[in-house]
Amino acid sequence: VSARLGRDPLGPEFKLIDRLADRLPAPEVLPDAVRAGLRLGIGDDAAVWRLPDGNLGLLTIDTVVEGVHAYPHERPEDVGARALTAAVSDVAAMGGTPFFAVVALQAPRRGSDETLERLYDGLAEEARALGVAVVGGDVVDTPGPLAFSIAVYGTCPDGRLWPRGGARAGDVLAVTGRLGGSRAGLELIGDPDYPPRSDWEQRLAERHLRPRARVAAARALQARGGVHGAQDISDGLSSELWHLALASEVGLRIEAAAVPLHPDLERYLEARAAAGGERLDPVGYALDSGEEYELLLALEATHPALAEPDLGGEGPLTVIGAVTAGPPEVILVEAGGPRRLLPGGWSHRGADGGKA
Amino acid sequence: VSARLGRDPLGPEFKLIDRLADRLPAPEVLPDAVRAGLRLGIGDDAAVWRLPDGNLGLLTIDTVVEGVHAYPHERPEDVGARALTAAVSDVAAMGGTPFFAVVALQAPRRGSDETLERLYDGLAEEARALGVAVVGGDVVDTPGPLAFSIAVYGTCPDGRLWPRGGARAGDVLAVTGRLGGSRAGLELIGDPDYPPRSDWEQRLAERHLRPRARVAAARALQARGGVHGAQDISDGLSSELWHLALASEVGLRIEAAAVPLHPDLERYLEARAAAGGERLDPVGYALDSGEEYELLLALEATHPALAEPDLGGEGPLTVIGAVTAGPPEVILVEAGGPRRLLPGGWSHRGADGGKA
Pairing status of strand B227-232 against strand B147-156: unpaired
The CA-atom distances, in angstroms, between B121 and each of A25, B195, B336 are: 9, 22, 49
- B140 φ, ψ (degrees, to nearest 5): -125, 155
DSSP strands (E only) in B217-316: 227-232, 250-255, 295-299
> Are B135 and A38 inside 8 Å of each other by CB?
yes
Residue B10 — very low, low, confident or very high, per pLDDT cuts 50/70/90?
low
Going by C-alpha positions, the residue among B142, B73, B130 that lies closest to residue B105 is B142
Residue A11 above 60 pLDDT? Answer: no
Tell me, what's the pLDDT at B186? 93
Most confident of A41-55, A187-201, B205-219: B205-219
DSSP β-ladder status, A97-108 and A133-142: parallel
Which chain B residue lies closest to A105 (C-alpha atoms)? Answer: B63
| Alpha-carbon separation of residue A193 from A82, A280, A355 (angstroms) | 23, 21, 20
pLDDT in tens, B93-130: 999 999 989 999 999 988 888 999 999 999 999 999 99
Give B135 or A293, the one with higher predicted confidence: A293
CA nearest to B25 within chain A? A124
Contacts of B53 in chain A (CB under 8 A): 51-53
Does the structure show a pLDDT above 90 at B7? Answer: no
Angle between helices B12-22 and A113-130 (to 10 degrees): 30
Q: Peptide bond before A143: cis, by omega within 30 degrees of 0? A: no
Contacts of A128 in chain B (CB under 8 A): 25, 29
How many Å apart are CA A283 and CA B84, to the nearest integer? 45
Mean per-residue pLDDT, A320-335: 96
Residue A25 near residue B124, CB atoms below 8 Å = yes
What integer pLDDT is reported at residue B41 of this predicted model? 62
Mean per-residue pLDDT of chain A? 88
Distance, in Å, from the CA atom of B67 to the CA atom of B84, rounded to the nearest integer, reads: 18
Distance from CA of B123 to the nearest CA of A (A): 8
Q: How far is A173 from chain B (nearest CA, A)?
A: 26
Q: How far is A277 from chain B (nearest CA, A)?
A: 29
Residue B62 C-alpha from the chain's centroid: 11
CA A250 to chain centre: 21
Q: Which residue has the higher pLDDT, B228 or B4?
A: B228
Q: What is the distance, to the nearest Å, from the Cα of residue A346 to the centroid of all Cα atoms in its chain?
A: 10
SS3 of residue B56 by DSSP: strand
Cβ atoms of B166 and B248 closer than 8 Å: yes
Q: What is the 3-state secondary structure (H, E, C) of chain A?
A: CCCECCCCCCCHHHHHHHHHHHCCCCHHHCCHHHHHHEEECECECCEEEECCCCCEEEEEEEEEEECCCECCCCCHHHHHHHHHHHHHHHHHCCCCEEEEEEEEEEEECCCCHHHHHHHHHHHHHHHHHHCCEEEEEEEEEECCCCEEEEEEEEEECCCCCCCCCCCCCCCEEEEECCECHHHHHHHHHHCCCCCCCCHHHHHHHHHHHCCCCCHHHHHHHHCCCCEEEEEECCCCHHHHHHHHHHHHCEEEEEEHHHCCECCCHHHHHHHHHHCCCCCCCHHHHHHCCCCCCCEEEEECCCCHHHHCCCCCCCCCEEEEEEEEECCCEEEEEECCEEEECCCCCEEECCCCCEEC
B101 three-class SS: strand
pLDDT at position A6 is 36
Q: How confident is the model at residue B16 (pLDDT cuts 50, 70, 90)?
A: confident
* A272-A274-A275-A280 Cα dihedral, nearest 10 degrees: 30
Contact B153 A121 (CB under 8 A): no
Residues in chain A closer than 8 A to B5 (CB atoms): 103, 136-139
Q: Give the separation between CA B349 and CA A310, rounded to whole angstroms.
A: 54
Report phi then psi at A304, rounded to 5: -65, -25
> How many angstroms separate the CA atoms of A248 and A325, rounded?
10
What does the alpha-carbon distance between residue A206 and residue B104 come to, in Å, rounded to a whole number?
Answer: 27
Tell me: pLDDT of B346 over 90: no
| pLDDT for the residue A149 | 95
Tell me how close the Cα of A198 comes to any Cα of chain B, in angstroms.
33
Backbone angles phi, psi at A163, to 5 degrees: -75, 160
Query: Looking at residue A249, what is its pLDDT?
Result: 97
The closest alpha carbon to A141, from B13, B165, B133, belongs to B13
Predicted local confidence at residue B61, as pLDDT = 92
Closest chain A residue by Cα to residue B352: A109
Residues of chain A with C-beta less than 8 angstroms from the C-beta of B137: 4-5, 42, 61
Q: What's residue B209's pLDDT?
A: 95
Sign of CA dihedral A271, A274, A276, A280: positive
The CA distance from A159 to A145, in Å, is 42
pLDDT over 70 at B352, yes or no:
no
pLDDT exceeds 80 at position A222: yes
Q: Which of A91, A126, A134 to mutate to test the interface with B (most CBs of B within 10 A)?
A: A134
d(CA A212, CA A1): 15
Rounded Cα–Cα distance for residues A275 and A272 (Å):
5
Contact state of A141 with B68 under an 8 Å Cβ cutoff: yes
**Which of A46, A106, A120 minimises the CB distance to B20?**
A120
In this prediction, residue A73 carries a pLDDT of 77
B53 CA to chain A: closest CA distance, Å? 6
Report the alpha-carbon angle B310-B314-B320, nearest 5: 90
**What mean pLDDT is predicted for residues B223-239?**
94
Chain B residue numbers with beta carbons less than 8 Å from the beta carbon of A134 are 24-25, 42
- Give the pLDDT band of residue A353 (cuts 50, 70, 90): very low
Question: Cβ B116–A16 below 8 Å, yes or no?
Answer: yes
Residue A40 — pLDDT band, cuts 50, 70, 90?
A: low
| pLDDT top residue among B184 and B138 | B184
pLDDT of residue A343: 87
pLDDT at B187: 92
**A212 min Cα distance to partner chain B (Å):** 17
Q: What's the pLDDT band for A87 if we cut at 50, 70, 90? A: very high
The number of angstroms, rounded, from the C-alpha of B214 to the middle of its chain's C-alpha atoms is 10
Cβ of A133 and B2 within 8 Å?
no
Looking at residue A179, its pLDDT comes to 98
Hey, are the CB atoms on B138 and A2 less than 8 Å from each other?
A: yes
Tell me what ipTM this predicted complex has: 0.86
Please answer whether residues A149 and B147 qualify as being in contact, where contact means their C-beta atoms are separated by less than 8 angstroms.
no
Kindly determine whether residue B31 and residue A113, on different chains, have CB atoms separated by under 8 Å: no
Q: What is the mean pLDDT of residues B147-169?
A: 93
Degrees to nearest 5, angle at CA A35 with A33 and A38: 110
For the cut 80, the answer to whether the pLDDT of residue B66 exceeds it is yes
Residue B22 CA, chain-centre distance (Å), reads 25
| Inter-chain contacts counted by CB atoms under 8 A, chains A and B | 291
Pick from A102, A144, A351: CB nearest B147: A144
Alpha-carbon span B331 to B254, nearest angstrom = 6
Nearest to A31 among B103, B131, B147 (CB): B131
Q: Which of B41, B44, B117 sits opposite A133 (nearest CB)?
A: B41
The pTM of the full predicted model, rounded to 2 decimals, is 0.88
Which among A49, A53, A142 has CB closest to B65? Answer: A142
